[in-house]
Structure 1
Amino acid sequence: MTSTRRSPTDQLPFGSITDVAGINVGHFQRTGRGWQTGTTVVIAAGGATPGVDVRGGGPGTRETDAIDPQNLVQEIHGICLTGGSAFGLAASYGLMSWLEERSLGFPIGSGAGIPPVVPVVPVVPGAVIFDLGRAGNGANRPDADFGSKAAHNARSAQTKWGSVGAGTGAKAGGLQGGVGTASTTVRIPGQPSGAVTGTDIEVTIGALAVANPNGSVIDPVSGLPWEPSGLRLRRPPGDERRVLAAALAGPAVPGFGVSESLNTTIGVVATSARLNKAETSKMASVAHDGMARAVRPAHSMTDGDTVFGLATGAHPLPAQARHQALNLILAAAADTFAAACTHAVLAATTIGPLAAYRDLCPSVYRS
């Protein structure tokens, strides 16, 4: 059984990835004077088991090999999601420096009695979206300073969503994209002990999505999200739907008749459950199912769709019927990531040449 928590910002029933205890989120962005880009970081200061799944045809990533289940690193403390295409990977260094200052990272042992040069090396996986030139100047993109400032802005009750951080320059199928979030709780039956049933475990699953897809989160026919995520939204009137459909269509591409651009949806799905790296990667993999429900089409050759997983380990799963417990978490990961993609577009605001959904279909928000 699942229950979805209420958003602290717009009162839509989404919740937040920070509902997973120990997860903080921070944003930093620049707009105006040729800037429209930013960085979002997800920090687990207490450490978390990592995982990742890359599905898009044009990814821009770092440190994904380090967190592969067969490799050495078992715990990380931060993930960097950013604009700037491959150039934006530089923002990860700012988060690395912030973590190093707090001695959070992979511990370096001394050899032959010689102390290490640094006590830790932070392993910071990251992924980028393509937003170059969204404000007219492709040379303006995130650097290490963006990552550092986003880390300084990290909060355990982050309330800024939509066109902030890595979502500042996001484009979602002809609309302004953004950063969205959601959370869900699942109740897992406790392990039986003799004739007495053990205490049930309540596990939290949270997701954060940077929606910048070549596809769309909105159905051009109904004018509503493909994945409403439990929302009761009123279908917008005909005049709003016509304007919306034109925005979603975008300019035609010769020979194709539809709009196409370089894009990507990236994000993080986190849980309070105690999972190993293979299980955390599986959770990230199944979260892509939620992306494919909310974004149509997803995983194209011009998308770099990447989802990271984090498991904080606060709640050990029962040894008996462990796979049933995992199935509940996996299903919730897909649902929650789908909701985060929807929230990203519903929470977005117009800050550049692309209109936000809320401006084209205001009647939906009055439902």
Structure 2
Amino acid sequence: MRLPGFDDVYVGHRSDPEAGTGVTVVVAPAGAVGAVDVAGGAPATRETDLLRPEETVDRVYAVVLSGGSAYGLAASSGVMDELERRDIGLDLGVCRVPIVCGACLFDLAVGDPSVRPDAAMGAEACAEALDGSDAAGLAQGNVGAGTGCTVGKFLGPDMAMKGGFGWSSASAGPLVVTAVVAVNAVGSVTDPATGAPVAGARVAADSAAQVADPLSAILAGASMPLSVLDRTNTTISCVTTNAKLTKAQATKVAQMCSDGYARAIAPSHTTNDGDSVFVLATGQVEMPVDLVGVLGQRVLADAVASGCREARTAYGFPGAAG
């Protein structure tokens, strides 16, 4: 289906609710200027080096957000195969090479840890993006890369809640910015507009509604059991804009967008998170870089809250949506 706000960018999910994992793919068939910011301490990523401003490849054709921890990187290969089958990619004369970037999150602690997104699931998500109908709208919550997400784990898994996939879109004149995100954070999630808790570490294991204040809990000496938390959390996203950006400008936008996490997740960018933000710029309108970044921060924070607000109870973790 079309990415909300765009006629030339597409998004698709593949979910395995039984196994507790899934994939979300954002596809730009004509290519887009790509960038990334990795602020977390434990990332699992693909093709991020080529997004550096000094490198020569300047077109990206898809961004893959996947569950399955590092095993989930295999899904990107399936996306690449599907794009090649459709003759989409960088024309190198003898063939087209679809440049596919991606990041994975750790969801192996829910569902079946032996089942991870693979090339077949990635190809199916890509096909859904390009062939799927817009009629039902883009689902949120327990879908795609958000299927097995959890949040609020700094007090241990017994106090955590269900995370999920979310999206948000906004415009400023001709400028459009849309964010999609899978929220699987150590921290708790709040509504960036009101500061009200959405989902996170609960004050008691039998309380699905009361979310502890993260800063107060941590400063009070709350334990952070690293045997459970260590490198098993990540919030991953793709922010797409119709602005015309260079790779260096898109990189600055990605850095600014990372602060959208901090507006909705506390704590964020920890050593136990692999927080990553990809940016795709399709290049239709000239806009100030800072305006793009500010709007990107806003929609990414909103998408984080929306994904957790729409998450349903699953795998023993209560969801804000019930």
TM-score bracket, normalised by the shorter chain, equals 0.7 to 0.9
- Cross-structure match for 1:23: 9
Letter in 2 for 1:38: G
- Cross-structure match for 1:358: 321
Work out the CA distance in 2 between the residues paired with 1:182 and 1:104.
27
- Cross-structure match for 2:156: none
1:252-301 Cα offsets, whole Å, 9 max, x none, are 9xx95246622100001111111111111111111111111100000011
Letter in 2 for 1:278: A
SS of 2:278's partner is strand
- Cross-structure match for 1:349: 312
Match among 22, 36, 48 for residue 20 of structure 2: 36
Structure 1: segments with no counterpart, 5+ residues:
1-15, 110-115, 188-201, 219-224, 318-324, 360-367
| 1:108 is aligned to 2:92 | yes
Alignment of structure 1 residues 124-203 onto 2, 5 Å: 124-135=100-111, 137-154=112-129, 155=132, 157=134, 158-173=137-152, 174-187=160-173, 202-203=174-175
Letter in 2 for 1:97: D
Letter in 2 for 1:77: Y
Q: What TM-score does the superposition give when structure 1 sets the normalisation length?
A: 0.75
Cα distance, 1:228 vs structure 2: 3.3
Letter in 1 for 2:116: R
Alignment of structure 1 residues 319-358 onto 2, 5 Å: 325-358=288-321
Work out the CA distance in 2 between the residues paired with 1:21 and 1:287.
23
Question: Matched residue pairs, number?
Answer: 296
Work out the CA distance in 2 between the residues paired with 1:186 and 1:246.
34
Cα distance, 1:133 vs structure 2: 3.1
SS of 2:266's partner is coil
Name the CA shift for 1:229/1:256 in 2 (closer, same or farther; >3 Å).
closer
Contact 1:280–1:311 (CA under 8 A) maintained in structure 2: yes
Cα distance, 1:52 vs structure 2: 0.5
RMSD over equivalenced CA pairs, Å: 2.6
Q: What TM-score does the superposition give when structure 2 sets the normalisation length?
A: 0.85
Letter in 2 for 1:161: Q
Structure with larger Rg: 1
* Identity percentage of aligned residues: 38
Consecutive aligned runs of 4 or more in structure 1 exceeding 4 Å deviation: 246-249
Cα distance, 1:247 vs structure 2: 8.6
Letter in 1 for 2:247: K
Name the CA shift for 1:243/1:76 in 2 (closer, same or farther; >3 Å).
closer
Work out the CA distance in 1 between the residues paired with 2:32 and 2:78.
20
1:46-81 Cα offsets, whole Å, 9 max, x none, are 211101010100000010011211112111111110
Contact 1:17–1:183 (CA under 8 A) maintained in structure 2: no
Contact 2:208–2:318 (CA under 8 A) maintained in structure 1: no
